[in-house]
Amino acid sequence: MSSSPEVVVVGGGPSGAAVAFWLAEVGHSVALIEKKEYPREKTCGDGLTPRAIHELRLMDFDFDVPELHRINGLRSYGAGSMLEMEWPDHPVYPKWGAIIRRADLDQQVAMLAEKQGVVIHQKATATPVVEDGRLAGVEISHNGDSAVLTPRVVVIADGAMSRFGRPLGVGRDRKAPYGLALRAYYSSPRADDDMMESLLDLQDEEGKNVPGYGWTFPLGGETVNIGVGLLSTSRRWKGLNTGQLLDTYLHNLPEHWAVDETSRLTDPVGGKLSMAFSGGPITGSNWVLVGDALGSTNPFTGEGIAYGYQTGRMAAATVHRALAADDLTMLRQYPEELEAEFGDYYRVGKVFVRAIGNPHIMRAFMTVGFKSKPLMEWTFRVMSNLMPPGDKNLTKQLYGAIETAVRMAPAGLGRDG
Ligand SMILES: Cc1cc2nc3c(=O)[nH]c(=O)nc-3n(C[C@H](O)[C@H](O)[C@H](O)COP(=O)(O)OP(=O)(O)OC[C@H]3O[C@@H](n4cnc5c(N)ncnc54)[C@H](O)[C@@H]3O)c2cc1C
């Protein structure tokens, strides 16, 4: 570990592996530091949308691995109804998604990065070496030994609880919404289903709606990933218990899954969803944030894998340009590029999650939505960010519609009364 690579990536999840892959692909020397050992578990729903499949295709991922189960669309329950929707047609994204355990997925993507020449240090923890407020190096601790690397650029990809950047002034926007989610694996005779399933009007044990959703994602074979995700935008948020919500969701699960408490294979585990670019600053003089460290999760759905890959790919392009020009001030272009790619969409998402924190709006949305399959298909397209390219007006119209709904709601913005 004595000679320093040009770039050190802290964290080997989707965002870290992707940024390392793309930087090595254009010839940079890259070290990726991962504190766990592959195959490493990550609490997740394990769901890949067509956007994630697209990113994996770009990295030449082998989709024929037996661990990957293909998914053709979403079966959605709400307001006492059910709708089945295929993934939408799109000129860029494929018409299929997948479910794959993160232990398998993340190891396989890290191996793709390694094949590009990335040097991976597993069971190694990175801490920043800060001098006069500037990132002067990265200390790597492994098996009781430590060494300091002095790369030209550091990419911070250490996930939703991101700690590495704190001494550099990185923090979270405390006003930004966030989510908490809990999942466990269960055995089910229906695990070969080719649809993922969601329940949009998640309820607590008293039958009151809470903002969030429940999911059942079949992994193929005999296992399904079942979980609940909850948003911080409800006034009752602090009193809610994800464990109880998961129990209630399980209790009301459609019979076709044939799942109950006795089918549980693992204990439920939870995690935080940092969304809508709530982390920042996004860049420093010689570092950038990617993935959950940046808060890149889609606020509409909590989907973060695709955005980890994409922000990783975008950061790699900017870091490459800055290194090639020997001008690290060019790293400042990265936030502008993120804004151009995601700015409008994530702003709409933030308004949306505040809106559904209000049970009146949530109920109205469910009742109207489930009466019309075209409307729900459009909502599915928007929420999974698979809108036709170039339709800027669509985002503006959507923003206007959600803002109007919020203004007209009896209990005011994003709050249940
Ligand atoms: C319950 C739950 C369900 C979810 N379901 C889905 C889903 O179905 N689909 C989806 O797309 N997204 C889902 N998400 C979101 C998704 O898991 C994240 O968005 C995604 O993992 C972000 O990738 P990342 O690489 O930024 O961070 P992570 O995957 O968290 O990777 C960060 C890595 O950094 C390492 N690390 C941290 N600190 C250090 C350090 N100091 N030194 C070295 N290594 C370090 C960690 O060990 C970890 O491996 C879910 C999240 C939760 C909590």
Residue 409 in tokens = 């709601």
Is the CB of residue 43 below 6 angstroms from any atom belonging to ligand 1? yes
Between 401 and 334, whose confidence is greater? 334
Computed over every residue of the chain, the mean pLDDT equals: 92
Q: How many residues are recorded in the chain?
A: 417
Average pLDDT over residues 365-382: 88
Query: What's the pLDDT band for 408 if we cut at 50, 70, 90?
Result: low
CA of 389 to the centre of ligand 1 (A): 28
| DSSP conformation class of 283 | B
Cite the DSSP H helix spans in 26-79. 50-58
Separation CA 120–CA 20 (nearest Å)? 10
Q: For the chain, which residues make up each domain, given as ranges?
A: 7-73+90-174+274-342, 178-272, 345-408
Residue 11, by phi and psi: left (phi above 0), alpha (psi -120 to 50) or beta? left
Interval between CA 217 and ligand 1 midpoint (Å): 18
Which atom from ligand 1 is nearest to the alpha carbon of 47? Answer: 8
Determine the average pLDDT of the residues in 253-282.
95
Residue to mutate (ligand 1; options 19, 21, 33, 42; most atoms within 8 A of CB): 42
Distances in Å between the Cα of 297 and the Cα atoms of 252, 269, 316 are 28, 19, 18
**Chain segment 214-238, per-residue pLDDT in tens:** 999 999 999 999 999 998 887 778 7
List of residues 6+ apart from 80 with CB closer than 8 A: 370
pLDDT at 212: 87
Q: Contact, 359 vs 208, CB < 8 A?
A: yes
* Mean pLDDT of the 293-322 span: 97
> Which DSSP helix (H) or strand (E) runs through 113?
helix 102-115
Let me know: does 71 contact 194? Beta carbons within 8 Å: yes
The preferred substitution site among 10, 34, 106, 158 for testing ligand 1, maximizing ligand atoms within 8 Å of CB, is 158
pLDDT at 409 over 80: no
Which residues face 32 on adjacent strands? Answer: 9, 120
Nearest-CA residue for ligand 1 atom 5 is: 45
Whether residue 253 contacts residue 232, with contact meaning beta carbons closer than 8 Å, is answered with no
> Alpha-carbon distance 381 to 383, whole Å?
6
Residue 412's pLDDT band, with cuts at 50, 70 and 90, is very low
Beta bridge partners of 343: none
Amino acid at 245: L
Burial group, residue 144, by CB count within 10 angstroms (0-12, 13-18, 19+)? exposed
- Pairing mode, strands 119-121 and 30-33: parallel
Q: How far, CA to CA in Å, does 56 sit from each of 21, 52, 183, 311, 313?
A: 11, 6, 24, 13, 11
pLDDT tens per residue across span 43-64: 999 999 999 999 999 999 999 9
291 ligand 1 Cβ < 6 A: yes
Interval 371-399 mean pLDDT? 81
Contact 183, 218 (CB under 8 A): no
For residue 269, the 8-state DSSP code is: E
Enter the DSSP assignment of 188.
-
Provide the pLDDT confidence category of residue 199 given band limits of 50, 70 and 90: very high
Digit-coded pLDDT (tens) for 113-127: 999 999 999 999 999
- Which residue has the CA at smallest separation from atom 27 of ligand 1? 159
Q: Which residue has the higher pLDDT, 400 or 272?
A: 272
- Residue 373 CB coordination number (10 Å): 13
Average pLDDT, stretch 25-45? 98
Question: What pLDDT does residue 406 have?
Answer: 60
pLDDT tens for each residue of 134-187: 999 999 999 999 999 999 999 999 999 999 999 999 999 988 889 999 999 999
115: Cβ–Cβ under 8 A, 6 or more apart, which residues? none
Q: Is 55 in the pocket of ligand 1 (CB under 6 A)?
A: no
How confident is residue 31, by pLDDT bands cut at 50, 70 and 90? Answer: very high
Percent of the chain with pLDDT over 90: 75
- 386 CB near ligand 1 (under 6 Å): no
Express the helix, strand and coil content of the chain in percent, nearest 5 each. 35, 25, 40
Q: Say if residues 188 and 222 touch (Cβ distance below 8 Å).
A: yes
CATH code, 7-73+90-174+274-342: 3.50.50.60
Q: What are phi and psi of 30, to 5 degrees?
A: -135, 135
Average pLDDT over residues 82-99: 97
Cα separation, 198 vs 85, in Å, equals 11
pLDDT digits (tens, 9 = 90+) for 322-372: 999 999 999 999 999 999 999 988 988 988 888 888 878 888 888 888 888
Residue 2 pLDDT exceeds 70: no
Q: Is the pLDDT of residue 5 over 90?
A: yes
pLDDT band at 411 (very low <50, low <70, confident <90, very high): very low
Stated pTM of the model: 0.95
Query: 333-355 and 305-324 are packed helices; what angle lies between their axes, rounded to 10 degrees?
Result: 160
CB atoms within 10 A of CB 7: 25
Nearest CA-CA partner of 98 in 46, 42, 39, 44? 46
Q: How far apart are CA 357 and CA 238, in angstroms?
A: 13
E strand or H helix at 272, and its extent? strand 269-274
**109 touches ligand 1 (CB under 6 Å):** no
